[in-house]
Structure 1
Amino acid sequence: MGNKNTGKKYNQDFKKMIVDLYRSGSSVKELSVEYGVSEVTIYKWNKKYSPIETEDGSSLTADDIAKMQKQMLRLQEENEILKKAMAIFAKK
């Protein structure tokens, strides 16, 4: 079945380099052949590491947004715990 590269791990710098090459004009097909990474994987990396402009002029990646959502959920959970603790201590 050809040269399928399953289970390979690439470091973050390599992924960002591929995305930068894609954004600078290289085609996904060229990058796939040259670096031995599937086209689907390159598209996924592009989605993950390409910046999204916000209203205030800053930029975020999908990865940054996912990290912020995870942190927000953790903080909401901590907030609920503190509310319950306050209710317990207020009764005393």
Structure 2
Amino acid sequence: MIRRRFSEFEIHKILQQYEEGASVQDIIEEHGISQATFYNWRAKYGRISSNDILKLNKLKEDNERLKRMFAEISLENESLKAQLKKRD
């Protein structure tokens, strides 16, 4: 079986199929996932709406951007400290 990572939005769509009446067996065969994976997803993402998923993805992107900014500023700070030590 080919291992594939599904996005949260794709997982939500798969869970919507179940809520619309599709059987678990049909869903796991169609998407190539195990029954345990389906039930784990249902426990984790079953109560999340698609709007919440979009907000979560936006927050993740913002967090990554802020981490990159912090890393750049930290490097600048270290280089400035090194320059100051050379002057002394």
TM-score by length of 1: 0.47
Q: Which structure features the higher share of helix residues?
A: 2
Greater relative CO (CA pairs within 8 A, separation 6+): 2
